[in-house]
Amino acid sequence: MNEALVITILVLSIFGFLACGVWVGLTLAGTAWLGMELFSSRPAGDAMAITIWGAASSWTLTALPLFLWMGEILFRSRLSQDLFKGLAPWLDRIPGRLLHTNVVGCAIFAAVSGSSAATCATIGKMTIPELSRRGYPQDQIIGTLAGAGTLGLLIPPSIIMIVYGVAADTSISKLFIAGILPGLMLAGLFMGYIAIWALLHPGRIPQADERLGFAQKIHRSRHLIPVVILIAIVLGTIYTGFATATEAAAVGVIGALILSAVQGSLSWPVFKDSLMGATRLYCMIALILAGAQFLTLSMGYIGLPRALAEWIGTLGLSQFGLILALMVFYIVLGCFLDGISIVVLTMGVLLPTINAAGIDLIWFGIFLVLVIEMAQITPPVGFNLFVLAGMTRKELPYLARVSLPMFLLMIAAVLIIYAVPEIATWLPRNMKM
């Protein structure tokens, strides 16, 4: 069998279906069926039924809709209104001043959302009008928000990490723990860039507001306390081994409902909209996962994973060369597909190669999340860019240009965790699970 011909037909099939407007999940399933019919003796019908049922009934995936629902509830609460008032007093004296609210706000919301688009939209609704009103430069407001919004994928709980954990058969709890230090490191890189830029362009940063005492800062930050407690409970139950990711997600939903009720923002329309929003998003993700699982099975019968692993082996790449090649591969793929599709579409093919190269699967999960974060701000299919385009009425080329420094910082983050892999592996290796 000519593997190059098979790959060409399957790739053309995928992009052909997508170009016709077919849903991603159905595209993956249709390509898998076509591949099995053309290049395998295994009947495609029963294989598709068994595989899709197995993918849809996975207990591990139960955490996903619960985390989605928790994020939807908090998305509709008064958190976005209180966040700026709580953070601003603490950031007003740092170079760059209130531009840092984009990064810190996204980092906080990422710890209760798990979605990059939701994080970007929630924080953007608050910071874009407020920072614009105060006279901060628009290119820096939008650019830093585009990059910081991607923290929703890296800082746990993360939807992408759950999908990767299922696809790679890796502990989701350990992946969550592994994302903490890289997430804080990336947030630190973003804030460092803002501070350096502000020092180089002092005339473009408005003057600081009135100086507040410590007690006044604490008083203005009181609205953040319930959210911080919720984050600590959800993540703490996972990290201490008291609860699984699924059980912690259920605790998060209950906590989000209580928090929303205490804030006075929980009503029947809010409850219904949050539940329906999470249901719609999960159904989309579940369909993609089911289609990708069938495509993985199909490629296994065709023999593509083995052929690809053998081909990469003949290239004689070092581990660093393989990582660089995969980074470029995922960045290019991210120009056309969303992050979840990228994970489930590629893991079945690349997993044997990753194992053969001796790459730790937990570390690779963090690497994968970082490169998918880059895809969130690369046109033409950059979901954070779409979110910002809808909020700011700016064109994609402008949004991509102002986001470029954040993209380069993410590349730097990949190189850092490769040079110092303990940033991603030390916590899961040393924390009791």
DSSP per residue, 52-103 = HHHHHT-GGGGHHHHHHHHHHHHHTSTHHHHHHHHHHHHHTTSTTGGGHHHH
Q: What is the DSSP string of 251-298?
A: HHHHHHHHHHHHHT---HHHHHHHHHHHHHHHHHHHHHHHHHHHHHHH
Instruction: Give the C-alpha separation, 110 to 360, whole Å.
Output: 25
**CA 78 from chain center: how many Å?**
23
**CA 29 from chain center: how many Å?**
24
**Per-residue CA distances from 116 to 148, 256, 288, 306 (Å):** 9, 19, 18, 33
Instruction: Give the C-alpha separation, 125 to 127, whole Å.
Output: 6
The residue type at 66: L
Q: Is residue 26 assigned to a domain?
A: no
Q: Is residue 16 assigned to a domain?
A: no
Q: Is residue 95 assigned to a domain?
A: yes
Please tell me the predicted confidence (pLDDT) of residue 79.
64
As a whole number of Å, the end-to-end CA separation of the chain is: 46
Helix (H) or strand (E) holding 314: helix 304-315
Number of domains composing the chain: 1
Instruction: Answer yes or no: are the C-beta atoms of 260 and 77 closer than 8 Å.
Output: yes
3-state secondary structure of 136: coil
Q: Is residue 337 assigned to a domain?
A: yes
DSSP H stretches of helix in 92-150:
100-113, 116-133, 138-149
The one-digit pLDDT tens for each residue of the chain (433 residues) are 566 777 788 878 877 887 888 877 788 888 888 888 888 777 777 778 877 777 677 776 777 788 778 877 877 777 656 666 777 778 877 898 889 989 988 888 787 766 777 778 778 877 888 888 888 999 999 999 999 988 888 888 788 898 899 888 888 889 989 999 999 999 999 999 999 999 999 888 887 666 677 777 777 777 778 778 887 888 788 777 788 778 888 888 998 899 888 888 888 998 999 899 888 878 877 787 788 778 777 877 777 666 666 676 677 788 899 899 888 888 877 776 667 777 877 787 788 888 888 899 999 999 999 998 888 788 766 778 877 887 788 888 899 899 999 999 999 999 999 999 999 999 988 876 5
Instruction: Answer yes or no: are the C-beta atoms of 336 and 323 closer than 8 Å.
Output: no
**Per-residue CA distances from 255 to 45, 146, 230, 250, 373 (Å):** 43, 28, 6, 9, 28
Cα angle 149-155-156, degrees, rounded to a multiple of 5? 130
Cα angle 85-87-93, degrees, rounded to a multiple of 5? 115
3-state secondary structure of 267: coil
Q: Is residue 200 assigned to a domain?
A: yes
Please tell me the predicted confidence (pLDDT) of residue 305.
60
Q: Is residue 44 assigned to a domain?
A: no
Please tell me the predicted confidence (pLDDT) of residue 336.
65
Domain carrying residue 244:
59-430
Task: Quote the radius of gyration of the chain (alpha carbons, Å).
Answer: 22
Residues written for the chain: 433
Q: Phi/psi at 20 (nearest 5 deg)? A: -85, 0
The residue type at 289: L
The torsion of the CA quartet 207, 209, 213, 216, rounded to 10 degrees, works out to: -150
Q: Is residue 170 assigned to a domain?
A: yes
Q: Is residue 12 assigned to a domain?
A: no
Choose among 177, 165, 157: nearest CA to 60.
165
Q: Phi/psi at 92 (nearest 5 deg)? A: -70, -15
Instruction: Give the C-alpha separation, 179 to 365, whole Å.
Output: 9
Please tell me the predicted confidence (pLDDT) of residue 230.
83
Choose among 18, 9, 17, 330: nearest CA to 160.
330
Quick one: tokens of 128? 């874009």
Quick one: tokens of 164? 């990767």
3-state secondary structure of 289: helix
Please tell me the predicted confidence (pLDDT) of residue 372.
87
